[in-house]
Structure 1
Amino acid sequence: MPYLLLTLSALIWSGNFVISRAMNHVIPPAGFVFWRWVLAIVVLAPIALPRLRRDWPVLRANLGLVCICGLFGVTLFNYLIYTAVHWTTAINAALVNSAIPIFIIMFGRILYRESVSLRQHLGIALSLAGVATIILQGDLGRIRGLSFNRGDLLVLLAAVVWALYSLALRRHPREVNPFVFLFATAVAGLIFLVPFYALELAQGTFMTVNAPTVMSIVYVGILASVVAFMAWTAGLRRVGAQTGGQFIHLMPAFSTILAVIFLGERLRPFHLTGIILIFTGILCATFRIKANRP
């Protein structure tokens, strides 16, 4: 079940990346994050508020964690990604974003002294090979054509932020209802976002209100913010950040599939090869074979 939840999160967030790239010219970054999480709070409120009073003592004792999760998971990661897609290409963004599991392992070793097994290293290598196969379209010669700009650096910084957020979730107080915790995290994230949004409005940058932008906000506000975050949190609580982080590698594969279905792009052999490598890597890094003992 936790692996299914993590897979669902990767699928939904793949759609979020596609939408953010498609709508970056009509929805500014801070506005996109702001209205996304306003809608998420509205959806969460009927579920979270009746439980908030009961969970408040524990939540208050963990306000520092709530603020960290709100700043990293709600404000910074989304703002950096939505800003980055103004300058970087889809290929480069997918390449840099796939570094998240590596950062999770690195910071896990530094902050929590977590060990990494040979099997997990092999799984990571296979998943990265799958991502690279899709990005390079099966041609190593394309490496020479890759260039990195400020958008790529912003995605790299976002990857670091998400890795820290994923590790922080391991301290999620189990006494607090998950919907209450996400609600509090979203409120904290919006508070941190206010200066970014105020600056954006002061510069005269506004969202174009029409059917596509409204539908985009609905998708990222309900699915990418509530459903995916709840699934990701539940999955990480069961399997840990190191193992769960490998599911980020599914996003380039899912992005390819979504492009074939919704954009009419052609599915090529290198796509299938990359997807197989990614799934094999995740299986290697997450599932253990238990030997039967007499």
Structure 2
Amino acid sequence: MSSADHSSLMLHRYVYLLPLTAVLVWAVNIVVTRYAVDLISPISISFYRWLIALVVLTPFCLPKVIRRWVDVRPHLLRLAVLGFFGMVCYQGLAYTAAHYTTATNMGIINAFIPIFSILLSLVVLQIRTSAMALFGSMISIIGLGYLVTQGNIQQLLHGQHIIGDLLMILAVMLYAGYGVLLQHWKIALPLSIMLYMQICFAVVLHLPFLLYFGLDALNASNLPPVLYAALFPSIVAPLVWMMSIQALGSNKSSVFLNLAPIFTAIIAYIFLKEQWTTYHSIGGILVLVGILLVQKK
């Protein structure tokens, strides 16, 4: 093998680090979310996250927005709706859910986004799907139900974790709705401008909630999780993910998302001492099998 061929092969292998990095960053963020529950309120960490991301991105993105303002202006309402669903509602509910459930549960439920996306696409976009995708969705729903009830339907009647699981399910449903609207509207703007404008609206739309719930001050204990959330899952991971889609394509990249619950469970076990139980295994396997079936053509 020539040196050129060897270099090409190594580069091809390194490309797979892109989706792995993005998924790992998102998995760590779920654990960081659970870690921060006693350090800062959900609405505060959500607001600071997007505010810091906005400050970091403004020097790079604001000039682009100004140059393309004629193209941006017609889409302002839709960008505001996307920012509200994808950044205010999803993140706020996820941070709230972390007060009541485990990072492991959150990771498994978060993997459910493709299933809700398919179900919402059937209703909103009238997109017909395959029998295999519907079968996979049913298996995942059964797995999710097993996880939430911990293998015992009576758990629905008591247990604080159920509140967190249901809040996380609602958050995932809203984020799936965000993806469906994104696909439905097909906003013809560069991704960097779309991301920046959604963050702008997210910061503004947090203000009514801050007036009601108040804003926690930043300190030495809560600043690290806030900075992680603002920089890595908000900026680094989306950028790396877009690079992955460009290099590998959407289908190959999306398969790596199935590793997120596994990464989350391992990290939560190491740093939060969360235990992996039988109902995690059964529910998690059913969810992942269903998602893999959905991803098959």
- Deviations along 1:93-137, one digit per CA (max 9) or x if unpaired, are 45544443332112111111011213333554666677789x59x
Work out whether residues 52 and 230 of structure 2, in 8 Å CA contact, stay in contact via their aligned partners in 1: yes
Instruction: Report deviation, 1:214.
Output: 1.8
Picking from 244, 253, 263, the partner of 2:262 is: 253
The equivalent residue for 1:219 is 228
Q: Distance in 2 between matches of 1:130 and 1:141?
A: 10
> Which residue matches 2:167?
154
The alignment yields a C-alpha RMSD, in angstroms, of 3.9
- 1:291 aligns with none
Q: Which letter does structure 1 place at the counterpart of 2:227? A: V
1:206 to 204, 211, 216: 216
Change (3 A) 1:236 1:41: same
Aligned to 1:76: 89
Deviation (angstroms), 1:71: 0.5
- Are residues 157 and 246 of structure 1, via their aligned partners in 2, closer, same or farther at CA, if it must alter by over 3 Å? farther
CA positional deviation for 1:258: 1.9
Q: State the secondary structure of the residue aligned to 2:216.
A: coil
Write the letter of the residue equivalent to 1:258. Answer: I
Amino acid at match of 1:173: I
2:46/2:91 contact within 8 Å kept = yes
Structure 2 contact 45–226 (Cα < 8 Å) conserved: yes
Q: Which runs of 5+ in 2 are unaligned?
A: 1-11
Tell me the percent identity.
30
Q: Which amino acid aligns with 1:206?
A: D
Using the size of structure 2 for normalisation, the TM-score is: 0.74
Question: Would the aligned equivalents of 1:250 and 1:279 in 2 still touch at CA under 8 Å?
Answer: no
Q: For residue 226 of structure 1, report the CA deviation from its aligned partner.
A: 1.6
1:131 touches 1:278 (CA, 8 Å); kept in 2?
A: yes
Aligned partner of 2:124 in structure 1 is: 111
Equivalent residues of 2:103, 2:265 under 8 A apart: no
**How far 1:246 moved relative to its partner?**
7.7
Note closer, same or farther for the CA distance 1:71–1:96 as it changes in structure 2 (3 Å cut).
Answer: same
Letter in 2 for 1:286: Q
Partner residue, 2:5 = none
Matched, 1:52 2:62: no
For these two proteins, the number of residue pairs brought into alignment is 278
Give the alignment's TM-score, normalised by structure 1: 0.75
Given that 2:133 and 2:295 are in contact with CA atoms closer than 8 Å, whether structure 1 keeps it comes out as yes
